[in-house]
A and B are shown apart, each in its own frame.
Chain A
Amino acid sequence: MAMDTNLALVLLLTPFLGFLINVFFGKSLGKSASGIIGTLSVVVSFIVAVSFFLQINETKQAINIQLFDWIQISKFNVSFGFLLDQLSVLWLLFVTGIGSLIHLYSISYMHDDEKMHSFFAYLNLFIFFMITLVVGSNLLVMFIGWEGVGLCSYLLIGFWYKNQSYNDAAKKAFIMNRIGDLGLLIGIFILGSLFSTLDFASLQTAIAAAKGVDTFWLSIAALALFIGACGKSAQIPLYTWLPDAMAGPTPVSALIHAATMVTAGIFMVSRMHFLFDLTPEIQTIIAVIGGVTSLVAATIGLVQNDIKKVLAYSTVSQLGLMFLALGFGAYEVAIFHVITHAFFKACLFLGSGSVIHGLHGEQDMRKMGGLKKAMPITFWTMLISSLAISGVPVFSGFFSKDEILMTAFHHNIPLWVVGSVASIMTAFYMFRLMFLTFFNDFRGTEEQKHHLHESPALITFPLIVLAILAAVGGLISLPGNSWLNEYLAPLFAKAGTEEHHLGTTEYMLMAIAVVGGFIGIGIAYAKYIKQNTVPSEDAEITGVSKVLYNKYYIDELYDSLFVAPINSLSKLFRDYVETGISSLVFGLGKAANELSYQGKKLQNGSVGLYLFGFVLGMCAIISYLFLAQ
């Protein structure tokens, strides 16, 4: 057990050590050294995570490590500990694995940035908090990680803080997350006060024992936790921060806003599955919100022209699909999609980063095109990932998305339709992105064309690895013979029974999904290759496209619904309440001042007057001493 404790500490503290080194010595170490230290610290964590994975895969036993008692108030007890079970180790694997690849990528990508050491410091800190979030043995430890990744997300979105709109994006992300975090906190409080414990294992037994009792409060707690998940995983109504979060450097978008942090909500819901299983009405809410989010984000994604914005809406849409699965209690399906999505979405983001890098910061797809020849590796890796996300058979996304849709079909046909439409749209906008970026002729400036080149090996290597994973990742959960379901079976009691038999219905569904995917790709092909259309300029967009291009005016709606009233309220407070308070306070000060000014006159320097005062005082004291009794 001691061995496990030490290993777990190594797992957790190596990235933190990397953070400390980069923070304090990063500048003097130089760019390459700071990048190598940052990467190595995550690679070490990855190796440890692999060893834990192998151990747990063999023994099928969760490792519970209690470091120390943290908070003890009469019955209420929170200890600081780690819980390494199938779920957390799985998350650890892809957090540290993809984290290592993205660190490696960043060494080259960020090499021209003067603050490279602080970039790596933040990335390491992020990994540290993400590991804390994943391995925490109770809700409070998880909450530390939860807040920590939010902080790192803020720091990294606003990494180029000299640009005011980037700062605003960072603040938006932070505040939106804060709203969700409030929900999470309320959920934690309710659970803590109901069961006097926050430990996952004890909560599970306590909630199971309390079956049928307190359903109302359990539902409220579940809803509050889900609001937390909504904030972190960008679901309606708290999703608007994620597209704006693309202001950060591209590796950040890949690591935090596609592969790892935004899946924290799914992780949390899976962790607390025993709670959600008991509250079917909340599960329905989750499924509906997931479905609607996936559809809404997909429609917005159809018309975006910023390459990263497309990917961002695609991420929101895919996260919506995962929540759709969660809402039906199909946790292992959602987790499967989390993993495959992490592979292909990280690859897509890194690929887009490679493109942006090649074009020296250009993100508008209308000014790209024809990059296939100049950047073959980027093209092929991105193509594989796009095929994966579009649900083309054999690639990983096909299996995971298909399972989600199948689950939806078995539970709720309308939501299945919603999910399927979203998938078709996904196929369309992904290939719109691919065609606009890599096919036809280059539409940028001559100078850019002259400088077009394939990115260096440090950038292409992670791309290749991720593309391979995106291609073959589906093997971990083949329909009918799922290694993942078996692996996760000890956690989710229902996982075994929910398995679908591969009947005609299932094959039909698969066929529909595949055909849908090809339809999406076909439309994109017809529009952007055959007709060689280029999306029109911002001003010329009209009709439905305009509504979509402006994201349904959700930001404006939030502005007028929340921001403007709060602004005017605070203006009211500033103009009237604060004036009142300050005049009261200043009035007190003025009164004291005036009083002392008058009192000053008493001290007129006349010794005679002082003597009178002295005698009077003496009289008073004597009277008090001898006459008062």
Chain B
Amino acid sequence: MGKTIIEKLIQLHSDEEVSAGNIVWMKLDIRTARDFGGPNVVKNLEKHYPDAELPDKENLFFTFDTVAPAKTIPYANNQQICRDFAHKNGLKVYDVDAGIGTHILMEKGFARPGRTLVGTDSHFNILGAVNAFGQGMGDQDIAFGFRTGKTWFEVPETIKINLKGAFSYPATGKDLVLFILKKIGSKGALGKCIEYFGECLQDLPFAEYITLCSMMTEMGGIVAFPEQNAQVTQWLKERTGEDQKFIVADEDAQYAQKNEIDVSGLPPQIACPPKPDNVKDVSELKGLKVGSVFVGSCTNGRIEDMRYLADILKDNHVAEGVMLRVVPATREVYGQMLQEGLIDIFFNAGAIVSNPGCGGCASGQIGMTGKGEVQISTSNRNFKGKQGDGETYLASPVTAALAALKGEL
């Protein structure tokens, strides 16, 4: 019987028979922890495996991205716990200056087709964009992975989704994933993988592959694998120095479901509070007054996202009373923004630009919303209270930029 992508990928890391529904032990290529979860990974290791030698240390990292730099003493202490542990064990730390862990793994070429990578970040499945199996896990799971290099995993079933038709600007990868979320819902891929196919993927920039894969978490899913396109191939070649070929499913692979979603002429989409799958056409909310705008996060914090924003803000200023916050995903993106003059554009447009990291999503590092405040965010979650007491709408950088400029949708 044929195998799906996830079955093949896990099989490369397991001695057991891998097929959907089986629980198998799987080797982990890269193990990481960040400042959320990381201190408890250390605590667990020290409690359960004191002074134990950790295997495969060159593939063990800490990445600080959620509260960067630490804004309270408890967070500062937590980061220092991780630093001290890393130092003692000779592990690399991507510190508070570096940016979002998953993005660094892609930039440095650690994430590549066929690899297994874990971290204490529920959007680790973003790495499906490069055909890698990224998985967010809790601190006990990660501590165990640090010590053993292995984890148990229930091999997920896969849904095959054919995206029919083509769409173009102003719709982007964010509008695509919000539309898919509207169609399948917050439990649409619960415990499952998705393999995406379709003509529209061929033209999608790599950054939008990241966007597409990142919101798998909001569908309840394990990891999404879009088919390989030329732009991802190019990125991987630059980052890994080699030609990389995606793992593809066998023709007779068994799927839990096969869906077709028609995306032809897709208009811009927006997720209304308080759920990411509460998605509407932006046009349905025309005139909605906006108080603040956040552009960044693991979902839309790449240079391509920043260029969308800059194209609209160039020689313009945000509307009176609107606060625009911009957070690059990584230091590399920050550097590109500087070089390309985007930071000038954002400054002149009246935006706040911060150092790289998770930005608005985690502990409101770049500010939270107050009761009654309407925020347009390019992030991935708008749950009640997640980014403050206000109302958060999820949209693309294009929609966010226009909202900042006009002060309304």
Chain A bound to chain B:
no
A residues touching B (Cβ–Cβ < 8 Å)?
Answer: none
B residues touching A (Cβ–Cβ < 8 Å)?
Answer: none
